[in-house]
A and B are shown apart, each in its own frame.
Chain A
Amino acid sequence: MKTIVAYVENKPGVLNRVASLVRRLAINIDSLTVGPTENEEIARMTIVVHTDEQGARRVTACLEKLVDVLLAENISGRPTVVRDLALIKVSANQESRPHLMDLVKVFRARVVDVSPESLILEISGTVGKIDSLLEVLRPFGVLEMARTGSVAMTRGADQLRPPATGAETHVIEMPSQAHPPAGRNTDAPLALPKV
């Protein structure tokens, strides 16, 4: 499992492009989360994919070829904080409720809804922590669950920032040339139109 962080343009269709590309590479997406960043024009994705180191390299390299992807990086193996959030509706009665409250304390979860027959627990943490809570809740009867998928951030000074507007872009660093070239110059680089 590899965790990839990507900065993308915050506009329609980008999620589709990213998901479609990973599908085309025949790589399974375990989770994909997307949300706005402090800059409203840029969104941040955390993509967890079933692949190896080489597959992750290919995913990030291919993602960065998409015009709307500003940066994509595999952060697996780097010191990171990875968090998942889950809402779990578990069946609860007079008798089981105190036991559930004990578990909530142990797992540092929160009770966000109480009804005569059930509780909704909110828990955030690593995938492993949520999975463990889920395991111990099963005997009580898990009625429903919603999970967000992972969001991830590298720790400390290891900062992942989107490239600034006006940054060098390899998309437009081409020699400017008239289009089309006069006659056939057999060794002219690809003519870039004066745009």
Chain B
Amino acid sequence: MKLTGAQIICETLHRLGVRHLFGYPGGAILPTYDAIGQSPLHHVLVRHEQGATHMADGYARASGGVGVAIATSGPGATNMVTGIATAMMDSSPVVCVTGQVGSKLLGSDAFQEIDITGITMPITKHNHIVTRTEDIARSLREAFVIAASGRPGPVLVDITKDAQQGSTTLNWDATAPQLPPKRPRVAHDQDAFERAVEMINSAKRPVLLAGHGVQIAGAVNALDRFVRRGNIPVAMTLLGIGTFPATDPLNLGMMGMHGEAWVNRAVQESDLLIAVGMRFDDRVTGDLRNYAAKAKKIHIEIDRSEINKNVRVDAALVGDAREMLEHLIPCVEQTDHSEWLAYIRELKGDSAVRDIQSLPDTGHLYAAHVISDLWKETKGQSLVVSDVGQHQMWEAQYYHHNRPRSLITSGGLGTMGFALPAAIGAKFACPSDEVWVVVGDGGFQMTMCEMATIVQEKINLKIAIVNNGFLGMVRQWQEFFYDKRYVATPMIAPDFTALAGAFGIRSERVSTREGVLPAIRRARESSETVLLDFRVEQEDSVYPMVPAGASLHEMIRRPSPLVETSTEP
């Protein structure tokens, strides 16, 4: 039986296990939309194509599968660019399907024609244009393999309108992926492996650095056994949060620019760093010249191009994190490292006295209180999707995640506006999870149109806006580094509760510390989406902070006593 290209797209996606598509229709993709209507695929109508890519990204990160976004040619495709770049920087498997003008019109500047494969070349793992109906099935199947394998990433398949309209028979076996042959992965480097084992067993002050790759590789369990055997403390990157239980005594917490002081001190004073599935980002290392100067470094990483990119390492184990850890576990001697762990506990004690949670209640509402109460009330069991900025760092510091894939956030690209759409995608992946969106007043305004998607899809999210009336993180940099010249950071926001009401979403405003817990409880009891507008301290900053380009131990600490400002934005 002959199928149209559009039907083949739907049939192929369905056979690949796709349930939900996040997208927006338009002229060049209309044949496919017609076929979606006849297929078992569930299409989620977004309000902006950027939202579609973030939803597919959130879906992928929450489920561990591939997320799919679909859009039309021209502006539909270009609107996807930010979402694709976000997925690329955070190694998230997303497949984007875009319509394209008919193949005879290519290159003619036709209506809504744009060279989207050219535009997305540097921000996709791979992309291609399909001009023949016969090539659709194979291209999509290859896209899924490329997106999900090795170090995952986004793939874009641009399909011309005539390819969607043409018809052919779909022979599943004949359309199997045929990717170009690669040389076999570099053989197991026994020499590097033995050096790594020797370094691990002779280290006195080791720290393991866990990144996003640990959960992508399914190496959470292996990592757990590895560090328990050697009693090695674990520091995590922002995207590594959740790969090791936050409440475990061996957990140090998040490292880097806004890592707690003890974490960065431990890294700086260590004699061995074991980096797993992370890439020594500048937000993690600070000044490279003084980064963990006394430490030997082992790098376990699947992407060969990351080795020695930022930090020179003493042993590189290129390969799957889970495989590598499994190989290492039997070679690691059981050690207690009690002196080192005791020293780290001492560092923690020093920081605790500066913690905002330990300061007397002055009636002022701080974002840290909101996050901490959210963590306590949800017992750390929620799936939290955070946006980008101060609230993102407070979330990372005060919401203690104990399981992988329970924090979704834009790390590498730092995309404001990511949280709300990504949470919608995550909710489709994990419908039984309680999903909280933690977002600033700035980022929320970038993609708040997706509230309409929430209502149309009748999904249940909890939205916590950490509203301080400023673009807080930028304001903080202006405070520290630009003499408090607040240029373009004070921000008038709409009345979010009234706005939510206009969308048909229930909401509450909270301005006091006592009000936080009851509001969170009421929100959790509701079976619908609830938006909470937390009016927090306006000019609070995220501490500690390692200024950009400074060494990791050169932190700005929270001043005491606190300098307070108004709570009313």
Interface residues of A (CB under 8 A from B): 9, 13, 16-17, 20-21, 24, 54, 57-58, 61-62, 64-68, 70-71, 162-174, 178-181, 183-195
Minimum CB–CB distance from A29 to chain B (whole Å) comes to 16
- Would you call A179 and B16 a contact (CB within 8 A)? yes
Known A-B contacts A65-B303, A171-B150; A166 and B181 likewise in contact (beta carbons under 8 Å)? yes
- Would you call B117 and A189 a contact (CB within 8 A)? no
**Which 3 A-B pairs have CB atoms at the shortest separation, nearest pair first?**
A180-B65, A189-B218, A179-B17
Chain B, 177-205, CB within 8 A of any chain A CB: 177, 179-185
- From B149, B151, B305, B430, contact of A172 by CB (8 A): B149
Measured between beta carbons, the chain A residues less than 8 angstroms from B144 are 192-193, 195
B557 at the interface (CB under 8 A from A): no
How far, in whole Å, are A165 and B117 apart by their CA atoms in the complex? 26
Minimum CB–CB distance from A25 to chain B (whole Å) comes to 10
Measured between beta carbons, the chain A residues less than 8 angstroms from B151 are 65
- Would you call A171 and B182 a contact (CB within 8 A)? yes
Minimum CB–CB distance from B88 to chain A (whole Å) comes to 12
Known A-B contacts A179-B17, A181-B64, A184-B405; A189 and B182 likewise in contact (beta carbons under 8 Å)? no
- Would you call A195 and B183 a contact (CB within 8 A)? no
How far, in whole Å, are A170 and B121 apart by their CA atoms in the complex? 21
- Would you call A184 and B433 a contact (CB within 8 A)? yes
In the complex, residue of chain B having the shortest beta-carbon distance to the beta carbon of A59: B305
- Would you call B145 and A170 a contact (CB within 8 A)? no
Cβ contacts A to B, 17 pairs, < 8 Å: A24-B122, A68-B180, A162-B181, A168-B183, A168-B184, A169-B182, A170-B182, A171-B179, A174-B145, A174-B148, A179-B66, A180-B429, A184-B405, A187-B218, A187-B221, A188-B64, A194-B16
Measured between beta carbons, the chain A residues less than 8 angstroms from B64 are 180-181, 184-185, 188-191
Minimum CB–CB distance from A144 to chain B (whole Å) comes to 32
B19 at the interface (CB under 8 A from A): yes
How far, in whole Å, are A62 and B404 apart by their CA atoms in the complex? 29
How far, in whole Å, are A143 and B246 apart by their CA atoms in the complex? 72
Minimum CB–CB distance from B481 to chain A (whole Å) comes to 26
Measured between beta carbons, the chain B residues less than 8 angstroms from A162 are 181
Known A-B contacts A191-B148, A193-B65; A168 and B185 likewise in contact (beta carbons under 8 Å)? yes
B63 at the interface (CB under 8 A from A): yes
- Would you call A64 and B220 a contact (CB within 8 A)? no
How far, in whole Å, are A17 and B184 apart by their CA atoms in the complex? 22
In the complex, residue of chain B having the shortest beta-carbon distance to the beta carbon of A41: B180
Known A-B contacts A16-B121, A180-B17; A171 and B145 likewise in contact (beta carbons under 8 Å)? yes
- From B128, B148, B305, contact of A190 by CB (8 A): B148
How far, in whole Å, are A144 and B148 apart by their CA atoms in the complex? 51
Chain B, 1-49, CB within 8 A of any chain A CB: 16-19
How far, in whole Å, are A16 and B115 apart by their CA atoms in the complex? 13
- Which DSSP category, helix, strand, loop or mixed, fits chain A's interface? loop
How far, in whole Å, are A98 and B117 apart by their CA atoms in the complex? 55
Minimum CB–CB distance from A58 to chain B (whole Å) comes to 6
Minimum CB–CB distance from B520 to chain A (whole Å) comes to 23
How far, in whole Å, are A13 and B118 apart by their CA atoms in the complex? 9
Minimum CB–CB distance from B85 to chain A (whole Å) comes to 13
- Would you call A195 and B145 a contact (CB within 8 A)? yes
Measured between beta carbons, the chain A residues less than 8 angstroms from B149 are 170-174, 192
- Would you call A187 and B63 a contact (CB within 8 A)? no
Minimum CB–CB distance from A176 to chain B (whole Å) comes to 11
> Counting chain A CB atoms within 10 Å of each CB, which of B122, B216, B305 scores highest?
B305
How far, in whole Å, are A158 and B64 apart by their CA atoms in the complex? 43
How far, in whole Å, are A53 and B241 apart by their CA atoms in the complex? 35
Measured between beta carbons, the chain B residues less than 8 angstroms from A165 are 181
Measured between beta carbons, the chain A residues less than 8 angstroms from B405 are 184, 186
In the complex, residue of chain A having the shortest beta-carbon distance to the beta carbon of B307: A61
How far, in whole Å, are A145 and B305 apart by their CA atoms in the complex? 38
- Would you call B305 and A70 a contact (CB within 8 A)? no
Measured between beta carbons, the chain A residues less than 8 angstroms from B309 are 58
- Would you call A67 and B63 a contact (CB within 8 A)? no
In the complex, per-residue mask of B426-442: 1 if CB is within 8 Å of any chain A CB, else 0? 00011011000000000
- Would you call A181 and B181 a contact (CB within 8 A)? no
In the complex, residue of chain B having the shortest beta-carbon distance to the beta carbon of A178: B17
Minimum CB–CB distance from B307 to chain A (whole Å) comes to 8
How far, in whole Å, are A169 and B307 apart by their CA atoms in the complex? 20
- Would you call A172 and B185 a contact (CB within 8 A)? no
In the complex, residue of chain B having the shortest beta-carbon distance to the beta carbon of A62: B305
How far, in whole Å, are A89 and B503 apart by their CA atoms in the complex? 74
- Would you call B17 and A164 a contact (CB within 8 A)? no
Minimum CB–CB distance from B93 to chain A (whole Å) comes to 7
- Would you call B121 and A65 a contact (CB within 8 A)? no
- Would you call A21 and B183 a contact (CB within 8 A)? no
Measured between beta carbons, the chain B residues less than 8 angstroms from A195 are 16, 141-142, 144-145, 176-177
Known: A61-B304, A194-B16, A195-B177. 10 other contacts (CB 8 A): A66-B126, A67-B180, A165-B181, A168-B182, A171-B179, A180-B63, A180-B65, A184-B62, A187-B218, A190-B148
In the complex, residue of chain B having the shortest beta-carbon distance to the beta carbon of A185: B64
B308 at the interface (CB under 8 A from A): yes
B535 at the interface (CB under 8 A from A): no
Measured between beta carbons, the chain B residues less than 8 angstroms from A13 are 117, 128
How far, in whole Å, are A10 and B369 apart by their CA atoms in the complex? 59
Measured between beta carbons, the chain B residues less than 8 angstroms from A66 are 126
- Would you call A70 and B180 a contact (CB within 8 A)? yes
- Would you call A70 and B148 a contact (CB within 8 A)? no
- Would you call B16 and A163 a contact (CB within 8 A)? no
Measured between beta carbons, the chain B residues less than 8 angstroms from A192 are 144-145, 148-149
Measured between beta carbons, the chain A residues less than 8 angstroms from B429 are 180, 184
- Would you call B93 and A20 a contact (CB within 8 A)? no
In the complex, residue of chain A having the shortest beta-carbon distance to the beta carbon of B122: A24
How far, in whole Å, are A163 and B156 apart by their CA atoms in the complex? 26
In the complex, residue of chain B having the shortest beta-carbon distance to the beta carbon of A181: B64
Measured between beta carbons, the chain B residues less than 8 angstroms from A190 are 64-65, 93, 148, 152, 216-218
How far, in whole Å, are A16 and B146 apart by their CA atoms in the complex? 20
Minimum CB–CB distance from A55 to chain B (whole Å) comes to 11
How far, in whole Å, are A185 and B218 apart by their CA atoms in the complex? 10
- Would you call A17 and B121 a contact (CB within 8 A)? yes
How far, in whole Å, are A184 and B93 apart by their CA atoms in the complex? 16
- Would you call B181 and A163 a contact (CB within 8 A)? yes
Minimum CB–CB distance from A47 to chain B (whole Å) comes to 16
Measured between beta carbons, the chain B residues less than 8 angstroms from A184 are 62-64, 405, 429-430, 433
Minimum CB–CB distance from A161 to chain B (whole Å) comes to 9
Minimum CB–CB distance from A11 to chain B (whole Å) comes to 10
- From B65, B181, B216, B217, contact of A179 by CB (8 A): B65
In the complex, per-residue mask of B112-141: 1 if CB is within 8 Å of any chain A CB, else 0? 000001100110011010000000000001
Known A-B contacts A13-B117, A57-B308; A167 and B184 likewise in contact (beta carbons under 8 Å)? yes
